[in-house]
Amino acid sequence: MRHFFLFLAFLGNSIALANAPRVVTTTTDLAWVAGELLGDTKTPVRSFLSGTENPHYADASPNFIRWAADADIVCLVGLDLEVGWLPKVLSRSGNSKVQPGGSGYCDVGKAIKALEIPEGPVDRSMGDVHPLGNPHFWLSPPALGQGAQAVADVLAAANPSSAALYQSRLKQLQNRLSKLHATNKKRLDTLKKKPLVIEYHKEFTYFLSAYGIQSFGSIEEKPGVPPSAGRIAEIAQRAKRAGVTLVLAAEYSPKKTLERFKELSGIPIVTVPTSLSKGQMDYQAYQDSLIERIVTVAGEHLASSKN
């Protein structure tokens, strides 16, 4: 009898694998989430981006269009992050399932509690302001766990026979993200004083909020607009006087601007990837590495400030 139930479980998993929808995501982080929910399938999850690019900007390449045409589901970060390129990819794909409103269109941002939603009217003179809120939520384990719900729901709709399996994996994933968040929060608590951090661009807002790290804003005066020489000098002096501990910046942030800010302020720069890379799809390892960099650099800067 035991062997019979094992056979049924194996058969159920085989059917789930055979019926698994073809999923494409805009970012590697969402590809990781979808992969965790799908489990092992014959068709791996694809990501348009490799994890090294600025996700605001991409070209509607023929490969992207072909992948979207073949997909059952396309998952996007949303909150207008990909508004400059994804609509072109989807419209040119000719795939009705993955168009906005289609059964395979998965807007993950709608499942999270967005931060920094602007008040009042928004126009281009304000820079790259997102009317629906800051879209860079995936660096926060709790926020990514919220977003995973949207992925699980669209997978279940595409493959109802595996809906319970996706929901079970969702709960497991959310529990792991919760434990990861709690563990790394304790590591930050080893610092006698919480660091005061300034970002180059507001890409770490959810991360900082999740871990209770104080934010001094951004080096950019307007999001997406390179800061002027006057702005760099002014914000560098303000940050220095305020006791800012470090700068967090993406690896694709302008190096000359960061170097000038460091020269004027004496504040160390921590440049990091803001997404998983296709060669290293391990969210826990990424979070651990980022926390370690912050703890190390902040600890050294706070210690040197006392001398």
How far is Cα 113 from Cα 246, in angstroms, rounded to an integer?
A: 27
Percent of the chain with pLDDT over 90: 78
How does DSSP classify residue 249?
A: E
59: left (phi over 0), alpha (psi -120 to 50) or beta: beta
- Positive/negative CA dihedral, 104, 109, 111, 117: negative
**DSSP label at 252?**
T
Q: How confident is the model at residue 123, as a pLDDT?
A: 63
In one-letter notation, the amino acid at residue 254 is P
Q: How far apart are CA 304 and CA 239, in angstroms?
A: 17
The CATH architecture one would assign to domain 8-182 is 3-Layer(aba) Sandwich (3.40)
- Cα separation, 36 vs 92, in Å, equals 29
* Of residues 127 and 121, more confidently modeled: 121
Percent helix, percent strand, percent coil in the chain, to nearest 5:
50, 10, 35
Helix (H, G, I), strand (E, B) or coil at 121: coil
The whole model's pTM is what? 0.91
- In this chain, the answer to whether the domains covering 8-182 and 183-306 adopt an identical fold is yes
3-state secondary structure at position 300 = helix
85 near 117, Cβ under 8 Å? no
pLDDT of residue 307: 59
- The HSE-up count of residue 291 (CA atoms within 13 Å, CB side) is 25
With cut-offs at 50, 70 and 90, classify the pLDDT of residue 6.
very low
Give SS3 for 227.
coil
Query: What pLDDT score was predicted for residue 127?
Result: 58
Domain positions in the chain are 8-182, 183-306
47 has which bridge partners?
A: 25
Predicted confidence (pLDDT) per residue in 262-296, tens digit: 999 999 999 999 999 988 889 999 999 999 999 99
Homologous superfamily of domain range 183-306: Nitrogenase molybdenum iron protein domain (3.40.50.1980)
Question: What region, left, alpha or beta, does residue 14 occupy, with left being phi > 0 and alpha being psi -120 to 50 degrees?
Answer: alpha
Residue-wise pLDDT tens digits, 38-68: 998 788 999 999 999 999 999 999 999 999 9
In the chain, DSSP assigns E strands to 23-25, 46-47, 73-76, 105-107, 196-199, 214-218, 246-250, 269-272
DSSP result, 17-68: HHHPPPEEESSHHHHHHHHHHH-S-SSPPEESS-SSS-TT-----HHHHHHH
As a whole number of angstroms, the distance between CA 37 and CA 31 comes to: 10
C-alpha 138/C-alpha 144 separation (Å) is 5
Q: What is the pLDDT of residues 136-176, one digit of tens each?
A: 999 999 999 999 999 999 999 999 999 999 999 999 999 99
CA 202, distance to chain mean position in Å, is: 12
Please list, in sequence order, all residues whose beta carbon lies within 8 angstroms of the beta carbon of residue 59, skipping any fewer than 6 positions away: 85
Q: What is the mean pLDDT of residues 228-234?
A: 97
Q: Largest Cα–Cα distance in the chain?
A: 77
In terms of phi and psi (left: phi > 0; alpha: psi -120 to 50; beta: otherwise), the region of 280 is beta
